[in-house]
Structure 1
Amino acid sequence: MTASLVVGAISLEATRLAANRLGVLLRGSRCGEIVRELASARTIRSAETLIPSARRTASLLHFTSLLEIAAKESGRIHLGLDMAGADPPHEVGIVSGLFLYASTVGQALEDLVRFFPIIQTGTTVRLACEQGIARFIYSIQDPSISDRLQDAAYTLGKICRSLRRATGDAWSLEQVTMAMPAPASLQAYTRFFRAPVVFNAQATALCFPAAFLALPIRTANAERYGNFCAGMAKALPANEDPGLLEDALRAWMKQVLRESGATLEHAAADFGITPRTLQRRLRGLGIGFVDLRAQVRMETARRMLVDSHLSVTCIAEQLGFSEPSAFTRAFRRHTRQSPRAFRQAAACLPGGAARDMRGDCRVQSSFLRMPGLS
């Protein structure tokens, strides 16, 4: 088992763009809360804790998990493709900007590889050419992320649309490969990419004739492209934000709270490291694993008490408590109210105030800065 730890992050700008796409696609559905959570400042680390030049980021695990949950709860099993298709044609972001001003497809893709860490970290992207075929390869290196289909479809779909816009459909695909199991239906993928899509492949990639790298881009502008790339070079992250580990652990805990295995050992295995390495990293941040888990449990409990009609017993079970009384004692320690009293108080408040009650109940930082790790 490796002793390194890769925690992926997605930029604030990319998170907001994705939230906007989801907001349009899921309007009127029961997944509105997922969109609000994705767009909420609570999912993004506070800028006050970072150096002035740092860009606020959110955990890539949190982002990919919300996409998967939204796909399942909305019934849109091809949500990633739908998001890529909802990308406004005249919006200039990092991806679309590169394909708007570059001189050739090859130049745009090479610089996309160079500047991709601005959009997303914990990820490897590269351009490879072999036997006349070029492949733009996309791979998430964060080992804690298991569900990757919606994210991969969104990312590759967005790049594919940008390439078609840039070349007037002169560019086309030989095939698309996905390093994950096939969904129930493949038709949406072949229709979107206009090419065969192979799942359970060794790599996730867009594959096309290498000769297409020399295709000119219709809107090329050397001066604007130079200025655009100069700005991107200044925005490249110098190093990993250490606070991402806490954000990623929070996202992981929300996924596994209902399981009895939400332990330090379980987390270490999912993050691809040894328990000792994870302990050392947490100790360096002054974070107690058990304390963080308890905090995330209480945040989730508040949300469930306000947003659902589940009984206290059912909520206790879903949060992994051995019995309802243990949940009640823990909840009272954190909120000075019993779960039933908290729910009754929330029910008497207007909608907005009730939503505030379910929000982030992070305690003072001293609570997490405890020497003991478990």
Structure 2
Amino acid sequence: MPGPRQRVDPPGGGGGGPQRGLEPTLSPRFVAYIRDFLLDKGLAPDPLFLACGIEALRCDESDRPLPAIQVVNLLEQAASYSGDPCLGLHMAQRYHYESASLLILAVLAAPSVAEGIRCLCHYDRYVDTAIETGFDFDKSLAEFSFRLIVPEGVAVSQMNEYLLGFLVQALNTATRRPVPVSEVWFRHSDARNAGILEDFFNAPVHFSRPENKLVFDRTYLQERFYTSHTMLYEILVNAMKTYFVSEKSGNGFVDILCREVIRCGGDETATLEKIAERLAISPRTLRRRLADEGYSFQEVKNLAREKRAKYYLSRTTMPLAEIAFELGYSELSAFSRAFRSWVGQTPQTYREHAIAARYQ
């Protein structure tokens, strides 16, 4: 049996100072994508990477994931460094597919638009823990949405525009047909690229919206991918399925479960069977892995809420009532009682201590 489990707190948790164990991260492949774009423009990437504290050579998928805030800042700095205020979109348009990640290769090998987006949403949760994706294919207009988990006040326009721009560019390439976009939403308020973005998406673009979202004609979901490769798709999906939920992946299994519980939303929705289905493993395997880690499923559910609560309290200015709602509590008092049972402090006290620790 395993020894006593060790708790890993998110930024601002436990000992007071920021810890990276649960900080939202992005794939190191983003470094390669930015590098390629700068090299194409005849710019040396090393000075920029050095100024941002990033090692240019550590961009392999097996390298340690990077804190999301560091990658987002790198994109914003790259826009200034290159003199290109629309760098995010331009980087998406000039993406080097020979530098693509394992996930992107799998997406492009999928049989159709619908299967490609499903693959992206299912496996990106392991690759980019700072990106929460979702889709709704049941309406007359299909929707793909995402949200970046970064502290409030961080400039995210380049990353938001890159991610939606890349999805559309990749779909255009794979189907040989422009995505029939109806409208585009961005969470950021910076609308200086509005005209260029509307020309690219060929649709109205709105800013300061609740989420980043692409709305398009549902019939497009059935479009075949001319990049489809059945054998390659099966190999890549099986490889990701085996690797990302294995002990070798570097993704702590309990951390993976915590993220899935949060993504499921309400406590009633996050059943063991539902989480197992989302991870593409059997409930029996999930129970065995939990036993190996020394956790019960209910303990994981409580830990998931605790981790996300700590992140919101230490890294955002979200009102307590809003945090409670995000975590599935209908009343602030219920959230406060639960949080106190987890850490021995009220949410407000924890927030004050976390903020004070950052400025010591």
TM-score of the pair, normalised by structure 1: 0.57
Of 55, 61, 71, the residue aligned with 1:41 is: 55
**Residue type of the partner of 2:231?**
E
Q: How does 1:278-293 map to 2 (within 5 A)?
A: 289=357
Q: How does 1:235-246 map to 2 (within 5 A)?
A: 235-236=243-244, 237=251, 238=253
Q: CA deviation at 1:240?
A: 5.0
Q: SS of the residue aligned with 2:137? A: strand
Match of 2:86 in 1: 78
Q: How does 1:117-136 map to 2 (within 5 A)?
A: 117-136=125-144
Q: SS of the residue aligned with 1:174? A: strand
Of 270, 284, 290, the residue aligned with 2:316 is: 270
State, as a whole percentage, how many aligned pairs show the same letter.
Answer: 17
CA distance in 2, matches of 1:111, 1:212: 16
Gaps of 5+ in 1: 48-52, 242-266, 283-287, 294-373
Distance 1:74 1:239, change over 3 A: farther
Match of 2:36 in 1: 20
The count of corresponding residues between Structure 1 and Structure 2 is 253
Give per-residue Cα distances to partners, 1:200-225, cap 9 Å, x unaligned.
22221111111211111123222211
Alignment root-mean-square deviation, CA: 3.8
CA distance in 1, matches of 2:223, 2:233: 16
Match of 1:61 in 2: 69
Q: CA deviation at 1:127?
A: 0.8
Q: SS of the residue aligned with 1:211? A: helix
CA distance in 2, matches of 1:68, 1:153: 11
CA distance in 2, matches of 1:166, 1:269: 39
- 1:174 equivalenced with 2:220 (yes/no): no
Aligned residues of 1:71 and 1:78 also touching (Cα < 8 A): yes
- 1:206 equivalenced with 2:214 (yes/no): yes
Q: SS of the residue aligned with 1:213? A: helix
CA distance in 2, matches of 1:218, 1:39: 40
Give per-residue Cα distances to partners, 1:174-210, cap 9 Å, x unaligned.
2211112142242211222232212122221111111
Gaps of 5+ in 2: 1-8, 12-21, 245-250, 257-312, 324-346
Match of 2:158 in 1: 150
Match of 2:202 in 1: 194
Aligned residues of 1:167 and 1:216 also touching (Cα < 8 A): yes
Q: SS of the residue aligned with 1:16? A: helix
Aligned residues of 2:33 and 2:99 also touching (Cα < 8 A): no
Bigger Rg over Cα: 1
Distance 1:240 1:278, change over 3 A: farther
CA distance in 2, matches of 1:70, 1:271: 27
Match of 2:108 in 1: 100
Distance 1:62 1:90, change over 3 A: closer
Aligned residues of 1:99 and 1:217 also touching (Cα < 8 A): no
CA distance in 1, matches of 2:103, 2:62: 20
**Residue type of the partner of 1:75?**
G
Aligned residues of 2:48 and 2:81 also touching (Cα < 8 A): no
Distance 1:4 1:132, change over 3 A: farther
Aligned residues of 2:134 and 2:145 also touching (Cα < 8 A): yes
Q: CA deviation at 1:43?
A: 10
Q: CA deviation at 1:36?
A: 4.2
CA distance in 1, matches of 2:108, 2:158: 25
CA distance in 2, matches of 1:121, 1:144: 17
Q: SS of the residue aligned with 2:188? A: coil
Match of 1:249 in 2: none
Aligned residues of 1:23 and 1:32 also touching (Cα < 8 A): no
Q: CA deviation at 1:133?
A: 0.9
**Residue type of the partner of 2:115?**
Q
